[in-house]
Amino acid sequence: MQEQLTPLFGDYELLDSGHFEKLERFGRFVTRRPEPQAIWRPSLPDEEWRRADASFLRDARSDERGEWRLRPGVPDRWTVSYPLGGTTLRLRLGLTSFKHVGLFPEQAANWEFIYDRCRRMTDDRIAPRVLNLFAYTGGATLAARAAGAETTHVDSVKQVVTWARENMEQSGLDGVRWIVEDALKFVQREVRRGNRYNGIILDPPAYGRGANGEKWILEDNIGEMLECCARLLEPTHAFLVLNLYSMGLSSTLARTAVRQAFGAPREEQWGELCFTDRTGKQLPLGTYYRFTR
């Protein structure tokens, strides 16, 4: 089933978007940063945008890097909360030189899916094992762990894994298995070991580097990654979540690639992750495909 997803996230709001920027509220603070898909005009007056607590200024010599300009008294890191089941995820934000803040709030729609699937398994007396690849600061990891899953978190950047561990501790959770390694190398080794998982989460970047300089190019490597994951996923009582953030890659493309590797699932869902700003403009923030079997 094709569907757009917009999560309910009390500590996050898309205030406005336009002129290739977005104005967002994270908890008590408002940020202003680039957004390549906001091709329309902003709706709020310029004064609202200028009042942002933190604004990202691009470096003229780089398409990606820049620096944040903060209003007096605004911290460069703070925490937001997301209630999930019987727990509350507490996630630290940090203003990075790549415009990111350590949180993709649209992914909360997938956190709900992951939590729900893991709880169903535990209720059926199945001990779920979940693998989160390209796992960043761990929102999906914590969703699985909060539902009682044995969870493995894989990312090639040590500082990001440390950030995820801090989020786990702030959320009152423990027991996650942390792996600092190239994701493709890890799954290749897991296939050789004969390991299996009940849930696999994939959030691959368009380009990336492994812990030892391995090169990741999504279009070149996603096929092998999916084939390895197909050998790791249990044949029943299992789910998969795939996110794509590269512009131009559709959810239909994700569905076709996954079905070739895994076969036809029992239930599937695909589409865009979106937020709607205060004036009704809907901003797509990535595509997803997920299934259960």
Question: How far apart are the C-alpha atoms of 233 and 121, rounded to whole Å?
Answer: 15
Q: At what angle do helices 251-262 and 218-232 cross, to 10 degrees?
A: 40
Fold of 77-292: Rossmann fold (3.40.50)
Radius of gyration of the chain measured on its C-alpha atoms:
19
Class in CATH terms, 12-70: mainly beta
Pair 134, 214: CB distance under 8 Å: no
Angle at 35 (CA atoms; ends 29, 37), nearest 5 degrees:
140
Strand partners, 276: 282
- Do domains 12-70 and 77-292 share one topology? The answer is no
* Token pair 């992951």 in the structure block, residue: 114
Pair 53, 26: CB distance under 8 Å: no
What's the confidence (pLDDT) of residue 61? 77
Cβ-count burial of 10 within 10 angstroms (0-12 exposed, 13-18 middle, 19+ buried)? exposed
Residue 243's closest CA among 285, 180, 196?
285
Helical segments of the chain, H only: 46-50, 108-123, 139-146, 158-170, 183-193, 218-232, 251-262
- Residue by residue, pLDDT tens for the chain (293 residues) are 889 999 999 999 999 999 999 999 999 999 999 999 999 999 999 999 999 999 999 887 776 789 999 999 999 999 999 999 999 999 999 999 999 999 999 999 999 999 999 999 999 999 999 999 999 999 999 999 999 999 999 999 999 999 999 999 999 999 999 999 999 999 999 999 999 999 999 999 888 888 788 888 888 999 999 999 999 999 999 999 999 987 678 999 999 999 999 999 999 999 999 999 999 999 999 999 999 99
pTM: 0.95
What's the confidence (pLDDT) of residue 210? 81
Domain residue spans of the chain? 12-70, 77-292
